[in-house]
Chain A
């Protein structure tokens, strides 16, 4: 008999209650239980950052969390960034600066930057690169992502 728990989790403001196997990782829970497939699996050992979500506003590798550990927690994923059809300033900055190519690392980048820009509204390029060092990208060479982050920071400061 599999070991299970019933958990209640809030994701992007919506409350979910599910019974899950205790070994189910948070990223698999989001993707397959809740069918929020925007959070991606890239390595399952905590290096690539494709699975980055915010738990209580703190950026976290969802592949290194068990779903059962998130009982009672409030989680933000990429699906919660836009408002209806309207991309948020960070997302729009990504599009405007060609900050994505295959799109696979992108949700993780967005969540990492959401926390970072909240805490560092006027970052330097070096600070942005350091902040991104926990997220791997193989397509862009990071330059356009850095540009998008700096552009987003400016837009947010200007009240976009």
Chain B
């Protein structure tokens, strides 16, 4: 139960059209047993913005994404996504919001019994039953072309590289035309060239689709490339939120240590 003092601010379903934030995290806390991984986290993301969330391992960054997509429920606070509080919404409301979100998992989480084409088509098969098979195939092929995987549609996930799997995951996340994109460590485990290609792809998709995006990453170079704002987390709290220049100017010891370790 949320304390009354932390009742979410009212929002409507047309939050993005009226300029309200697509993602509005309000004082979210989450613990696993004695370990508090999120401690009063708050931020907003509007369409066209990309927020990079950085921090050490175990600071709750991925848990934050899972709360936003509704895979976990916060202990307190509100996760207002397109006007719906994912912490208290019904299953049907959560699923309605999810159709407007795309999630790229850290290891892509491709369905290994399906081909690349079937993986990307999965959300369409389940949510766009009005589409003809040919329309579905065209949409999938257009997206595979957009992520640079034209010609790989009949391959199985085990037959493609990690970078290619991430691209397929990205295509699958975009296939329903979402307004929100969540990326969990999109460049983790990739070589610098592949990481750069993923960054360029995310930037291009952001420009074309004007998404409200959150990228959880350890990669400061990637964050600097794709993010309009950066939030640095430590011990479950957002220590600083702003541009990369704001981080460089900060005199917080943790911020300085984090930046200098990477640079």
- Are A and B bound to each other? no
